[in-house]
């Protein structure tokens, strides 16, 4: 059994979409290699940093990524395998790249309660500086906004015959 601690840089950009690991990003590896009957068992962890944008508000984000991996590199033989020992060497790049890319979030957010962008102003809703929070009005009801909230103002409401009956019943 052999253990290695390696500090490397990513050879190319890993990942697509809103977040990825840029080329040249530091990559810290802790790897353990064990000889087993079928081949070499590789176990370890990889630490690096993702960069990208929030899926809701498009703010730049950078977060640490830590993944664990374990794979058996088989000795060459008759059976096809995903990972094989080649001339007494194991190539870890594909294994580590796949583990890291699969751990990247599909819809990353800058913070768990990110509200995104205001559809009218384009401002981040979590940093909204507007003093009055307006609720969006359905355009079908917009004409009703021209009426005051108290239609009679201070004038007393006229009694209808139905309301007089309910008033006398309550007394």
What whole-number distance in Å separates Cα of residue 4 and Cα of residue 52?
30
- Full-model pTM: 0.68
Provide the token pair at 149.
Answer: 């909230």
Q: Which pLDDT value is given to residue 99?
A: 94
* CA distances for 4 relative to 64, 118, 149, angstroms: 21, 49, 73
For the chain, the structural domain boundaries read: 2-103
- Which tens digit of pLDDT belongs to each residue from 12-25? 999 988 999 999 99
In angstroms, the Cα distances linking 112 to 52, 59, 108 are 16, 13, 9
Q: Is 44 exposed, middle or buried (0-12, 13-18, 19+ CB in 10 A)?
A: buried
pLDDT digit string, tens, across residues 64-112: 999 999 999 888 876 777 788 888 788 889 999 999 999 999 999 988 8
Phi, psi (rounded to 5 degrees) for 3: -120, 140
């Amino acid at each position: 059994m052999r253990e290695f601690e390696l500090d490397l840089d990513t050879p190319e950009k890993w990942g697509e979409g809103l977040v990825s690991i840029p080329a040249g990003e530091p990559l810290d590896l802790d790897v353990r290699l064990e000889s087993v009957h079928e081949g070499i068992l590789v176990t370890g962890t990889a630490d690096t940093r993702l960069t990208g944008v929030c899926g809701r508000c498009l703010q730049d984000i950078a977060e640490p990524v830590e993944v664990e991996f374990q794979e058996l590199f088989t000795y060459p033989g008759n059976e096809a395998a995903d990972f094989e020992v080649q001339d007494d060497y194991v190539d870890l790049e594909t294994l580590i790249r796949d583990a890291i890319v699969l751990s990247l979030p599909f819809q990353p957010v800058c913070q768990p309660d990110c509200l995104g962008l205001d559809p009218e102003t384009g401002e981040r809703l979590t940093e909204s500086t507007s003093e009055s929070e307006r609720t969006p009005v359905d355009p079908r009801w917009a004409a009703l906004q021209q009426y005051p909230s108290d239609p009679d103002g201070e004038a007393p409401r006229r009694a209808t015959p139905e309301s007089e009956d309910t008033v006398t019943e309550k007394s």
